[in-house]
A and B are shown apart, each in its own frame.
Chain A
Amino acid sequence: MPYIAKIKVTLRQSILDVQGKAVDHALKNLGYRTVESARIGKYIEVTIHETELAEAERIGNEISQKLLSNPVMENYSLELVQI
């Protein structure tokens, strides 16, 4: 059974997130006074044809570090779901 790797990529806290800031301003303009901040990231789903969870996890981490995120300015989280 293949796995779906659900990968979330977010900017590191130290990096200015101008898109998040623009959305944050828009939400405040809409009157949501309790909105404190907004950050924008990316969500990526990759289907991996592996039967072993450990191997799917290894591939998920490798592709996240190699291509899907840039460790200089981004963090990622990985979740694997069997389908």
Chain B
Amino acid sequence: MLELLTTIKRSDFMSDITVGVVVFPGSNCDHDTEHAVASFPGIKPVMLWHNDHDLQGAKAIILPGGFSYGDYLRAGSIARFSPIMKEVIEFAQKGFPVLGICNGFQVLLESGLLEGALSRNRDKKFLCCQTHIRAVNGSTIFTSLYPEDELLSIPIAHGEGNYFAPPEVIERLEEHQQIVFKYTDAGGKITDEANPNGSLKNIAGIVNRQGNVLGLMPHPERASEKILGSLDGRGLFESLFLHIAEV
């Protein structure tokens, strides 16, 4: 298990850095994410209601997990047209960091900020369990503090996490090291048995070509406190916050 990183210190900042957490109707991991974000010194989470247009000076945006708009039509498809998404998409296109967790990943795919789609889990089940994933690309702004190829224990909770993309997209993702997280077994092996939902290539998370938009199905905010059984998700937040503190 990853040791608690202490890279970020309050003295690194002149004043608190704001990180926006978008709240869609039906988001249910928004406050877990807020709680995880607030546990980092110098970082102040601000909740951004989906109907607003103001990102309130946030230096990074997180789209949390949940069931935005009840997953009606397709997971993430209606949230993608929420008023605030216009600003989030522009923010991402300018190169600022956007992180989508679970339903947030689904929203990023629907919005076209990331390529591919997520369909129903291979075994029809809603899966809520601890999984092992490997940070196969440790050089992104979201993973820079993880040692190369780090094995992480982070839970998943989703019914539609089966990542799919046409072969040419998969090729492109591989060519540009855009696959960031892969499901593995407890020993870190990338096998079909360790693939919980049928995702192509065991993909658990991808980043866009520019490297500033990451989407993943596992929940790092649920692995960010000792009492939750794993601290492995902290490295993701800490990498991101270190990046925005340096910019």
Say if A and B assemble together. Answer: yes
Residues of A participating in the B interface, judged by any CB pair closer than 8 Å: 11, 15-16, 18-19, 21-22, 42, 67-68, 70, 72-73
On whether the beta carbons of A18 and B124 are closer than 8 Å, the reply is yes
The 8 A-B residue pairs with the shortest CB-CB distance in the complex, in nearest-first order? A72-B117, A18-B124, A73-B117, A18-B120, A70-B117, A15-B119, A73-B119, A70-B74
Residues of chain B within 8 A (CB-CB) of A70 are: 74, 77, 110, 117
Residues of chain A within 8 A (CB-CB) of B172 are: none
Residues of chain A within 8 A (CB-CB) of B198 are: 16
On whether the beta carbons of B119 and A11 are closer than 8 Å, the reply is yes
CA distance A81 to B119 in the complex (A): 31
Residues of chain B from 80 to 137 with CB closer than 8 A to chain A in the complex? 81, 109-110, 116-117, 119-124
On whether the beta carbons of A72 and B166 are closer than 8 Å, the reply is yes
On whether the beta carbons of A68 and B124 are closer than 8 Å, the reply is no
B153-170 vs A, CB cutoff 8 Å, 1 = contact: the mask equals: 000000000101110000
Residues of chain A within 8 A (CB-CB) of B123 are: 18
For the A-B complex, the count of residue pairs with Cβ-Cβ distances under 8 Å equals 36
Range of interface residues on chain B? 20 to 34
On whether the beta carbons of B81 and A67 are closer than 8 Å, the reply is yes
| Given A68-B73, A70-B110, A72-B116, A18-B164 contact (CB < 8 Å) | no
B163-189 vs A, CB cutoff 8 Å, 1 = contact: the mask equals: 011100000000000000000000000
Q: Which of B116, B123, B164 has the most CB of A within 10 A?
A: B164
Known contacts A15-B119, A22-B124, A67-B77; can you find 10 more A-B pairs with CB under 8 A?
A15-B164, A16-B162, A18-B123, A18-B124, A19-B120, A21-B124, A67-B73, A72-B109, A72-B116, A72-B164
Residues of chain B within 8 A (CB-CB) of A67 are: 73, 77-78, 81
Q: How far is the CB of A24 from chain B (nearest CB, A)?
A: 12
Residues of chain A within 8 A (CB-CB) of B121 are: 18
CA distance A18 to B123 in the complex (A): 7
CA distance A22 to B166 in the complex (A): 25
Nearest to B166 among chain A residues (CB) is A72
Residues of chain A within 8 A (CB-CB) of B124 are: 18-19, 21-22
On whether the beta carbons of B117 and A16 are closer than 8 Å, the reply is no
Nearest to B80 among chain A residues (CB) is A67
CA distance A11 to B119 in the complex (A): 9
Nearest to B76 among chain A residues (CB) is A70
